[in-house]
Amino acid sequence: MWEVGSGILLWSVSSPSYIPGLTPVLCSMPQTYLLISNPPHGEADAKLIAQEFGFTSAEALMRIHFPAPQVWFAGEDLDDIKRTGAALQDAGARVRIINGSLLSLIPAPDNLQAFSFDETRLAMKTNSGTDLDIPYHARVILVSSQLKGESQSPESQMGSSSSHDMREKLGAAVPMTVTSQGDSLAADLEEATDDEILDAYFISESRVQRATLLSDGVDYTGLESDATSSEEENRAALIARFTDRFRTTDLDERLKGAPAPKPYLVGGKGMPAILGAIDPGLQDMATVDLLSRLALLSRL
């Protein structure tokens, strides 16, 4: 079942479900809704998606096989976005619809320095000097990211076709289209890197907290006797400790080894412009940060 974000919550089509810590801020400004993919898509019909949405078969295949969540459509008309989602769902694609303001409620990356576990909670210190105090009843979602290789070319990246058919069939919801390097409408998001990143998201007590683990950037003495000289072993031991101590721990590795995406348009706008319209503070968001936040939202 696909899910949608209203002005105040996330819900499935038939049953509302409140998400602690992720209640969009209501304001008089129009809300922007994002239809995001939620791979893997299983038995999605690439031919049908190509016909319905005006893509070539190759473009539809690229959409379906991209391993991580991405924004496929954006708009202010929730009914149009719902119809688009329903059409994609009928074609076998897995999608979710979120209120774009949810992105603003997720903290920016803040690199983890050190941590310690006690009887009831996890204490973490980040590079910004922030102290995180997280009880073990919090939900933990770990998003592992390691974007690989060069960005895909406009010819091979999903979504580079005309939106004419989409406009005729489904109204204002307009699909993602890839831009050329010189397209002035699509300012690049910050370049992705090959560094392995682990975002640890903690959801409890009506807020989301975040700590980002970079390679060779963490003091692992908090693992005590489990700490070793290997970054890979220490990271695995920390994930195991999360799983052991917290009530629920989910690991999302869809961004691990994913190709760095090409800048693209959604409804004739580059992602920085769309993000800036949602919240000016989001406009300069790095690609890997956006993909990590979308991965988080796709799992709630």
Q: pLDDT per position in the chain (300 positions), as tens?
A: 444 443 333 433 323 334 544 655 555 568 999 999 999 998 899 999 988 887 778 878 888 988 999 998 999 999 999 999 999 999 999 999 999 999 999 999 999 999 999 999 999 999 999 999 999 999 999 999 999 864 443 333 333 333 344 333 333 455 666 544 434 334 344 444 557 899 999 999 879 999 999 988 899 999 999 999 999 999 999 999 999 999 999 999 999 999 988 777 777 789 999 999 999 999 999 999 999 999 999 999
Pick the closest to residue 157 from 135, 126, 180 (CA basis).
180
Rg from Cα positions in the chain: 19
pLDDT of residue 203: 97
Q: Which residue has the tokens 């910050």?
A: 190
**3-state SS assignment for residue 223:** helix
Q: List the 139-148 sheet strands across, edge first.
A: 207-214, 197-204, 139-148, 248-259
Q: Which fold has domain 112-146+191-253?
A: PH-domain like (2.30.29)
Give the long-range contacts of residues 190-196, CB within 8 A, separation 24 or more: 190/284, 190/285, 190/286, 190/287, 191/260, 191/287, 192/147, 192/260, 192/261, 192/286, 192/287, 192/288, 193/147, 193/288, 194/146, 194/147, 194/148, 195/146, 196/144, 196/145, 196/146, 196/256
* pLDDT for res 24: 58
Q: Among residues 83, 79, 98, which one has the least CA distance to residue 37?
A: 98
Tokens of 197: 């990143």
Q: Are 241 and 226 in contact (CB under 8 A)?
A: yes
Q: Helix 46-53 vs helix 78-90: angle between axes, to the nearest 10 degrees?
A: 150
pLDDT at res. 153: 36
Non-local (6+) Cβ contacts of 190 within 8 A are 284, 285, 286, 287
* Domain residue spans of the chain: 3-106+150-189+258-298, 112-146+191-253
Instruction: Outline where the chain has alpha helix (H).
Output: 46-53, 57-65, 78-90, 164-170, 231-245, 271-278, 287-298
Owner of token pair 């210190």: 125
- What interhelical angle do 46-53 and 57-65 show, nearest 10? 120
| 257 φψ region: left (φ > 0), alpha (ψ -120 to 50), beta (else) | left
Q: What is the pLDDT of residue 61?
A: 86
Res 163: pLDDT: 39
Q: What is the pLDDT of residue 26?
A: 52
Place of tokens 């800048």: 263
- The pLDDT of residue 265 is 74
Calpha distance 256→276 (Å, rounded): 27
